[in-house]
Amino acid sequence: MANTKGKKGESGSNKKQITNEVVTREYTVNLHKRLHGVAFKKRAPRAVKELKKFAEKMMKTPDVRIDSKLNKEIWSQGINHVPYRVRVRLARQRNEDEDSLHKLYTLVTFVRVPAFKGLLTTNVDNE
């Protein structure tokens, strides 16, 4: 049998680098399914953690920062009554701090919408 390990390793090196570009997208995050079964007094803190995890997964940056207005929106109904859905804007930006380990970070901001019906993930043009 022929050794195919060399070919397999070569195809893996052709991955394109997607984390080097600055991009902004809008997502609708269903917090209700992410908080199912969580104790009432831990729901709002867990919602913040789940949003960070979602942003890290979508933008592929380990450094995620939550905007204070989004934090206020999550906590607006108290610790146990978190909104079912939230529309967020994820912006992958360059880190100005030279001492940081990561070149890019993700800023998560709140987007107010009248209804969530029919909303899809959209790319936002950077102005």
Neighbouring residues of 54: CB distance < 8 A, sequence distance ≥ 6: 27, 29, 34
Spacing of C-alpha 69 from chain mean position: 16
Q: Is 31 helix (H, G, I), strand (E, B) or coil?
A: helix
pLDDT of residue 10: 52
Q: Is 55 helix (H, G, I), strand (E, B) or coil?
A: helix
**Strand ranges, E, within 13-125:** 23-30, 64-66, 85-94, 104-110, 122-123
pLDDT of residue 20: 75
pTM: 0.81
Q: Which residue has the tokens 């929106």?
A: 73
pLDDT per residue, tens digit, the chain (127 aa), is 566 555 555 555 555 555 678 999 999 999 999 999 999 999 999 999 999 999 999 999 999 999 999 999 999 999 999 999 999 999 999 988 878 888 999 999 999 999 999 999 999 886 5
pLDDT of residue 5: 58
